[in-house]
């Protein structure tokens, strides 16, 4: 049984090697709207490749030399067959060696050490066996064997864990949700305490913070933390709030807010809380005007932190899109805040962060 003592899960705002995108194609659920979602992925690729390396996982028919308009950094394509596109949940979760003084705030560069990152290949089973995931679950090993990533490969396929279900402050605290990690077909029959013990050991963490409330209607993930609460520098939490008592999500988000107010950092201080608005309800497209489809889990918390910028989802709601940008900028005053129209992504019940996975320094080849 491998021990990850001496390693930690870095915060997302620490300097990165690059970002992985797993590209949509005609054999995925995106087929009916492939042009629309591809345009969104091109926009994500453009903003990422302006600032850091981009790794694209795509089927054989995807061009090996993919041109990203405005790219300033390396763009690599690796051909691997996939079930779907949610890199956040099937990609490696990467640990880095623990330094004596972990930074509390963003720094221009992060010191390298003689030790390499650890690439944790955890089991992705389609969010509790809801969807086929055998091809996606094999991506990491194929990336490693192809030499696309750099570090020590660690086989963790005996434990189900999705990247979107955890948040790290880089200093030993991991946030997650009870609703997700205790959901059926994840790691039963393990108890909550046993799952916590596994997270502490596998992630080199000091403590697990369980969030017990918060629910977005239409969320296939059973309540991923990255749709609800995000950890930011200086002990700041960005979280989703709701001001409409008639909204079906109102009570759960109110209870979550009360939980966050009661939380304390490892040194006993309250967190700085910044409240993101909730988008106005967005529904699936119905067959007729007389019908209304199911509600989709739109959220502004599903943003991606990259080198020099935060990419955040927008939903063609100018007032709320602008308010979300303002709040995110308050948490990240040193970064550009860039909106990406995610009305296409939300139609498959995800958003921007769900589509991406960042790699810390030293974890991607040719960064």
Closest CA to 19 of 333, 304, 309: 304
Q: What CA–CA distance (Å, rounded) separates 22 from 84?
A: 8
Q: What confidence score (pLDDT) does residue 111 get?
A: 40
Three-class SS state of 10: coil
CATH of domain 7-360: 3.75.10.10
Taken in order 213, 217, 220, 226, the sign of the CA dihedral is negative
- pLDDT > 70? residue 290: no
Residues with Cβ within 8 Å of 315's Cβ and at least 6 positions away in sequence, in order, are 279, 282, 298, 321, 341, 342, 343, 346
- pLDDT, one tens digit per residue, over 201-218 is 999 999 999 999 998 999
Window from 47-61, 99-113, 227-241 with minimum mean pLDDT: 99-113
Question: Mean of the per-residue pLDDT values for the chain?
Answer: 93
Closest CA to 274 of 213, 339, 326: 326
Q: Where do the domains of the chain lie? A: 7-360
- pLDDT > 80? residue 366: no
**Neighbouring C-beta atoms of residue 338, cutoff 10 Å:** 18
Answer yes or no: are the C-beta atoms of 176 and 165 closer than 8 Å.
yes
Would you report the helix, strand and coil content of the chain in percent, each value rounded to 5?
25, 25, 50
């Amino acid at each position: 049984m491998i021990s990850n003592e001496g390693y930690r899960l870095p915060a997302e705002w620490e300097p990165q090697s690059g970002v992985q995108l797993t590209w949509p194609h005609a054999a995925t659920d995106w087929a009916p709207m492939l042009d629309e979602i591809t345009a969104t992925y091109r926009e994500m690729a453009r903003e990422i490749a302006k600032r850091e390396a981009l790794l694209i996982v795509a089927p054989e028919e995807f061009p090996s030399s993919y041109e990203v308009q405005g790219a300033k950094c390396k763009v690599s394509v690796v051909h691997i067959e996939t079930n779907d596109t949610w890199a956040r949940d099937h990609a490696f979760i990467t640990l880095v060696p623990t330094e004596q003084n972990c930074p509390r705030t963003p720094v221009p560069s992060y010191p390298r050490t003689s030790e390499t990152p650890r690439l944790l290949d955890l089991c992705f089973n389609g969010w509790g066996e809801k969807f086929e995931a055998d091809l996606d679950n094999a991506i990491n090993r194929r990336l490693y064997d192809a030499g696309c990533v750099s570090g020590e490969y660690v086989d963790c396929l005996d434990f189900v864990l999705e990247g979107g279900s955890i948040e790290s402050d880089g200093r030993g605290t991991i946030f997650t949700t009870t609703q997700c990690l205790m959901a059926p077909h994840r790691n039963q029959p393990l108890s909550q305490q046993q799952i916590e013990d596994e997270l502490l050991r596998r992630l080199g963490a000091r403590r697990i913070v369980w969030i017990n409330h918060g629910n977005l209607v239409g969320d296939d993930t059973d309540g991923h933390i990255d749709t609800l609460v995000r950890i930011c520098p200086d002990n700041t939490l960005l979280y989703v709030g709701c001001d409409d008592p008639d909204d079906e999500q109102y009570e759960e988000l109110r209870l979550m807010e009360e939980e966050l107010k009661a939380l304390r950092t490892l040194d006993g201080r309250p967190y700085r809380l910044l409240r993101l608005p909730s988008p106005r309800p967005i529904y699936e497209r119905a067959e007729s005007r007389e019908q209304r489809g199911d509600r989709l889990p739109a959220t502004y918390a599903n943003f991606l932190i990259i080198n020099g910028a935060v990419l955040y989802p927008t939903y063609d709601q100018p007032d709320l899109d602008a308010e979300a940008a303002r709040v995110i900028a308050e948490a990240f005053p040193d970064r550009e805040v860039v909106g990406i129209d995610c009305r296409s992504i939300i139609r498959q019940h995800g958003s921007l962060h769900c589509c991406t996975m960042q790699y810390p320094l030293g974890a991607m080849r040719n960064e």
